[in-house]
Amino acid sequence: MEKRIYKTLDWCHFRIKTTLLKCYKRFYFMKQKYELLAPAGGFPQLRAAIEAGADAVYLGLKEFNMRATAKNFTLRELSKASKICRENKVKIYLTLNTIVYDNEIKKLENIIKKVKDKVDAIICWDLAVIQLCRKYKIPFHISTQASVSNIESAKFYKKLGAKRITLARELSLKQIKKISKIIDVECFAHGAMCVSISGRCFTSQFLDKKSANRGQCTHPCRRPYLVIDLTDKSKQLKLENNRVMSAKDLCTLPFIEKMKKAGIKAFKIEGRNRPPEYVAVVVREYRKALDKKLSPKEIKEGILNLKKVYNRGFSSGFYLGVPTNDDFSSSEHGEQTEKKIFVGRVKKYWPKIGVAHVELLAGKLKLGDEIYIIGKETGLIRTKIESMEINNEKVKVVKKSQEAGIKLPKCRRGDEIYLIKSAGKENEKEVLKEIEKMLSKR
C-alpha cells in the first residue's frame, strides 16, 4: 500500500514537473524577443525599415563596405541617420567589412573614432578593424565574410570581444543550434544569395577588374552563358537554364519557427541595393512572423506579398539541406509580380488640405491608380489616387507635362511619384504552386 502511494506521488511529481517545464518553454518562446535587422542603402530605405517595424538597421559609408554601389551615407549623413534611429528606438549598425590594405588603416581609424557615439555596433571581420573597435571601446559583430561555421571559431571571436556573429550561409539549422549556445548568432532570413555563398568571390575581379571583396561586384553570376567548344567555336551549347550561377533569393518565412528554435537571436534581411518598397514589404512580413506563430494561410499571404517586390524566385538556402538545381534562378529581370514606373515629382504640398502639386514628367496617372511616394524625409508611402484637379476642375486623367493638384498623404517638395503596375510575369495560380512546393520542404 505504502509503495503504491509513493509511486502515485512520484508520478504526480513527474507530471507537475513536466507541465511546469512545458509552461516555462511556452512562456519563454512567447516572451523571447528576436531582433529584426533591416538594410538601409539610403534615407528612404532607412525610414521605410523603421516604419515597417525593424528593430535595427545596418548601413555603410561611402568606403569600406560590401555594397559600394548602394547610395550609402557620408559621415554627416550618418549623424542624421543615427538621430532618426535614436528617436525611434531603433539600433544602428555600421558595416566596415571589406578587405582593408595598409595604406587605408589611418583613414579607417579616423572613421572609427568619428562614429563611436553614432552607432550601436560595427559589423566587421578584418582583425585590423576588430583591434580598432577594441581600442575605442566600440561593440563589434562578426560579419558573414568571416565564414564562421564551427564552435571553435565562435569561441575565438567571443574571446576577442565580439558580441554577435553573423554565421556562414553554408550552415544547416542543426549546425546553427550548436553554435548558438556559445554566442549570440545572427542569420540571414531573406534576400539575395551569392553563388559564392559567404563571399570572397573573384569572378567580378577577373572579368571586370571590380573586386567583390571591396563591395564593387558587377554580378557576372547573374548573366547568361554559353558552353563553347574551343577547338571549334562555331559549336555552342545553350543550357536549359543558361544562368547557371544565378542563385534564387533566400526566403525563410515557411520555416521561420524552426529558425527560432535553432537559437537565432537576430534575423537579417539582405538588400542594401534594393529599393524602399522592397525593404518595407519584407520587413513588414518578417515582423509579423517574429511576433507570433503564423498560420499556413498567413504564411501563404506573406509569400504572396513578398513576391510583389524584386526577387529571383525563392530558396531555403542551406538551412534545410544542401541546395539543388531547383535553387537556381532562370529569370533575367526578376520574378516580382509588381513593378514601379517613375511618373513625376511633388512641387509643393499643402498640409492643411492634404493636397500635393504634382508635375508629371512621364506616362500618366488616372483615378484609382496605386502609387508610391518616395523621398529622403518622407520614406515610402503607398496610396491610391482618389481625387485630382487641374485649374480647380476635377479630372480623371493627368498626362505627361501636365501639373495637377492631387489629394495625397503628407509628402514633401522633391518627393518622387511612381505608378504601381502588375509586372505580368506570374499569375496567382503559378505563385501558389511555388508556395506549396516551398511549404512541403518544411
Q: 115 and 193: one domain?
A: yes
In this structure, what C-alpha cell is assigned to residue 21? Answer: 517545464
Q: Which of residues 301, 327, 353 is at a domain's end?
A: 327
Would you place residue 245 in the very low, low, confident or very high pLDDT band (cuts 50, 70, 90)? confident
Confidence bin at 61 (pLDDT 50/70/90)? very high
**Do 280 and 401 fall into the same domain?**
no
Position 216 confidence tier, pLDDT thresholds 50, 70, 90: confident
Instruction: Give 366-409 pLDDT, tens digit per residue.
Output: 999 999 999 999 999 999 999 999 999 999 999 999 999 999 99
Residues 263, 174, single domain; the answer is: yes
338-350 vs 355-360, strand pairing mode? antiparallel
User: 208 lies in a domain?
Assistant: no
Beta-strand pair 266-269/185-191 = parallel
Specify the pTM. Answer: 0.86
Q: Which three cell numbers stand for residue 14?
A: 513527474
User: Is 434 among the domain residues?
Assistant: no
Question: Do 410 and 267 sit in the same domain of this protein?
Answer: no
| CATH code where residue 174 lies | 3.20.20.70
Instruction: Say if residue 291 is in the same domain as residue 405.
Output: no
Query: Is residue 272 located within the same domain as residue 384?
Result: no
77, 361, 363 from 355: Cα distances, Å: 30, 19, 21
Same domain for 289 and 380, yes or no, is no
pLDDT exceeds cutoff 60 at 71 = yes
Instruction: Tell me if 429 is assigned to some domain.
Output: no
Note whether 265 and 355 are same-domain residues: no
Does 280 lie in the same domain as 138? yes
Residues 173 and 305 placed together within one structural domain of the fold = yes
Is residue 229 domain-resident? no
**418 within domain boundaries:** yes
pLDDT at 259: 97
Cell 572609427 sits on residue? 112
117 and 163, same domain (yes or no): yes
DSSP string, 61-102: BSSSSS-TTS--B-HHHHHHHHHHHHHTT-EEEEE--S---G
Judge if 70 and 134 occupy the same domain: yes
CATH number at 394 reads 2.40.30.10
Is 24 contained in some domain?
Answer: no
Q: What is the pLDDT of residue 28?
A: 45
Question: pLDDT-derived band of residue 29, with 50, 70 and 90 as boundaries?
Answer: very low
304 domain-assigned: yes
Domain count, the chain: 2
Q: For residue 34, which of 320, 268, 322 has the smallest C-alpha distance?
A: 268
Of 356 and 194, the structure prediction assigns the larger pLDDT to 356
**What's the domain range around 268?**
32-200+245-327
pLDDT for residue 235 is more than 90: no
Contacts made by residues 331-334, CB under 8 angstroms, sequence distance 24+: 331/243, 331/246, 332/224, 332/243, 334/310
- pLDDT digits 0-9 by tens, 261-313: 999 999 999 999 999 999 999 999 999 999 999 999 999 999 999 999 999 99
